[in-house]
């Protein structure tokens, strides 16, 4: 077994890239519930330009360095909501890039661990339920919450929820698109939402782009919303939210 890569090495790798943050809005409370960290270049180059530089053996280290860097910047810009970090389960189960560095970064920057959410995004690794469940349990026992990203997109599906229950399910934006005028998507989203309520799982709808989508989702009592309609990701800052909360409770 090789030792986990040093915290200093991860911090050093993190100086090569930066982050934008996009609100996940609690429309019932009328404020941001969390901010999702999205990797960017040092001068706001798009994510793919950074990710393509770290393919192969370096990728697990990159994934861990992302979490460290995203926490550092979130603390620096004074984030007082939850912080949602994307993670690749296959990278997180790599012994060189485990949980310790994320916990160390949270402690170093005084970011409370119970305000960290990790979004699992990689279908293939999640499909290895046993292995993934042990990673999830490690995170959970540290106080970190788990979201399943892109739910309903093919890789992340119902069978997963039978095996273990995340804290949050993020509906894939394909299900959200034009939902106000699409009967089948409405039926699917209603059923997923009911199931999640029964299981005690919070639902986030992502990729909300229009007023029509927004209104339908709010009427369906889906109160955690993310997407360009509410706010675009903002580079190294917390963006204002575009909408007035006329439906505030």
Return residues touching ligand G (CB under 6 A).
Answer: 22, 38, 47, 86, 121, 149-150, 173, 206-209, 227-228, 233
204 binds, among ligand G, Mn ion, none (CB under 5 to 8 A by kind): none
Whose Cβ is closer to ligand G: residue 72's or residue 213's?
A: 213
Non-local CB neighbours of 44 within 8 Å, separated by 6+ positions: 18, 20, 235
* In the complex, least distance from residue 172 CB atom to ligand G, rounded to whole angstroms: 7
Q: Which one, of 149, 76, 160, lies nearest residue 117 by Cα?
A: 149
Which of Mn ion, ligand G, none does residue 234 bind (CB under 5 to 8 Å by kind)? none
Strands 18-26 and 116-120: unpaired
Kindly list the distances between the CA atom of residue 139 and the CA atoms of 38, 47, 48, 242, in Å, as whole numbers in the listed order. 20, 25, 27, 33
CB of 95 vs ligand G, minimal distance in Å: 25
**H helical segments located in the chain:** 7-14, 47-51, 59-76, 89-92, 100-108, 123-127, 129-141, 158-163, 173-176, 183-199, 211-219
Going by the DSSP 8-state scheme, the letter that residue 57 receives in this structure is G
Assess 122 for contact with Mn ion (CB under 5 A): no
**CB under 5 to 8 A by kind: which of ligand G, Mn ion, none does 150 bind?**
ligand G
The answer to the question of residue 72 lying near Mn ion (CB under 5 A) is no
Q: What angle do CA 70, 72, 77 make, to 5 degrees?
A: 95
| CA atoms lying within 13 Å on the CB side of residue 31 | 5
Binding segment for Mn ion (CB under 5 A), chosen from 17-25, 85-93, 133-141, 152-160, is: 85-93
Token digits of residue 179: 């939902």
Q: Identify which of residues 94 and 150 has a Cβ nearer to Mn ion in the complex.
A: 150
Closest distance between Mn ion and the C-beta of residue 99, in Å?
19
What's the rounded Cα separation, in Å, for the pair 84 and 45?
20
Pick what 207 binds: ligand G, Mn ion, none; C-beta below 5 to 8 Å, kind-dependent.
Answer: ligand G
| Residue 164 site contact among ligand G, Mn ion, none (CB < 5 to 8 Å, cut-off depends on kind) | none
Q: How far is the CB of 207 from Mn ion (least distance, A)?
A: 10
Q: Which is nearer to ligand G, 11 or 243 (CB)?
A: 243
Partner from Mn ion, ligand G, none binding residue 233, C-beta < 5-8 Å depending on class? ligand G
Q: How many CB atoms lie within 10 A of CB 163?
A: 11
Per partner kind, with CB cut-offs from 5 to 8 A, the member of ligand G, Mn ion, none near residue 202 is none
Minimum Å distance from CB 177 to ligand G? 9
Q: Which is nearer to ligand G, 5 or 202 (CB)?
A: 202
Please name the helix (run of DSSP H) or strand (run of DSSP E) that holds residue 209, with its range, or none: none
Q: How far is the CB of 232 from ligand G (least distance, A)?
A: 7
């Amino acid at each position: 077994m090789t030792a986990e890569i040093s915290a200093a090495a991860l911090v050093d790798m993190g100086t090569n890239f930066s982050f934008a943050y996009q609100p996940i809005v609690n429309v019932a409370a009328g404020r941001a519930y969390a901010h999702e960290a999205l990797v960017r270049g040092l001068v706001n180059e798009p994510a793919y330009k950074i990710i393509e530089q770290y393919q192969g053996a370096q990728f697990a280290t990159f994934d861990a360095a992302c979490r460290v860097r995203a926490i550092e910047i979130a603390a620096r810009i004074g984030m007082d909501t939850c912080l949602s970090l994307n993670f690749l389960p296959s990278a997180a189960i790599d012994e060189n890039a485990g949980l310790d560095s994320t916990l160390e970064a949270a402690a170093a920057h005084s970011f409370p661990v119970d305000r960290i959410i990790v979004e699992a995004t990689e279908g293939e690794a999640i499909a290895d339920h046993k292995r993934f469940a042990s990673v999830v349990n490690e995170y959970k026992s540290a106080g970190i919450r788990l979201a399943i990203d892109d739910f309903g997109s093919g890789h992340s599906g119902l069978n997963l929820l039978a095996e273990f229950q995340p804290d949050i399910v993020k509906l894939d934006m394909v299900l959200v698109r034009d939902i106000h005028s699409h009967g089948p998507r409405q039926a699917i989203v209603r059923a997923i939402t009911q199931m999640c309520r029964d299981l005690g799982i919070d639902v986030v709808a992502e990729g909300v782009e229009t007023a029509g989508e927004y209104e339908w989702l709010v009427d369906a009592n889906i109160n955690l919303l993310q997407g360009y309609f509410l706010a675009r990701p903002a580079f190294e800052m917390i963006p204002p939210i575009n909408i007035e909360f006329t439906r505030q409770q």
